[in-house]
């Protein structure tokens, strides 16, 4: 018997804020907005999908397990997600903190 670890639901209500993020397929953040703590993330995710479809984009693959969907309108493609961290914040995990100050060059 294979035991599987229960995965966390990225769209579950949280006491921490989340971010609605739109990226190009090169990873560039095109749009980001903070969702307040306690927001209905499932509703925000489905609403975002509907808004993109209403704007003429084709929604392709999506995953509620990663809170991400992809959409395209030839020749453009976007990745839309609900993220647990501010996409503009400097990451302070792993070796990222050893790179020095991004704004002052230290």
Residue-wise pLDDT for 36-91, tens only, equals 999 999 999 999 999 999 999 999 998 988 999 999 999 999 999 999 999 988 66
Residue 5: pLDDT over 90: no
Domain carrying residue 72: 18-87
CA 46/CA 3 separation, integer angstroms: 31
Q: Let me know if residue 43 belongs to a domain.
A: yes
Residue 105: pLDDT over 60: no
**CB within 8 A of 34, min separation 6: which ones?**
17, 18, 19, 20, 86
CA 76/CA 60 separation, integer angstroms: 13
What's residue 2's pLDDT? 66
Q: Let me know if residue 64 belongs to a domain.
A: yes
What's residue 7's pLDDT? 72
CA 2 → CA 5, 6, 7, 18, 65, distances in Å? Answer: 10, 13, 15, 33, 20
Domain count, the chain: 1
**Whether 30 contacts 78, CB under 8 Å:** yes
Q: Let me know if residue 103 belongs to a domain.
A: no
Q: Let me know if residue 28 belongs to a domain.
A: yes
pTM: 0.77
């Amino acid at each position: 018997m294979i035991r599987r670890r229960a995965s966390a639901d990225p769209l579950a209500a949280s006491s921490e804020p989340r971010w609605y993020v739109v990226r190009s397929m090169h990873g560039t953040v095109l749009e980001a907005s903070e969702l307040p703590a306690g927001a209905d993330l499932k509703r925000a995710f489905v609403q975002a999908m509907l808004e993109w479809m209403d704007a003429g984009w084709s929604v392709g693959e999506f995953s509620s397990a990663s809170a991400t969907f992809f959409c395209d309108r030839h020749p453009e493609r976007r990745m839309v997600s609900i993220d647990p961290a501010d996409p503009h914040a400097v990451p302070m995990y792993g070796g990222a903190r050893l790179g020095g100050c991004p704004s002052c060059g230290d």
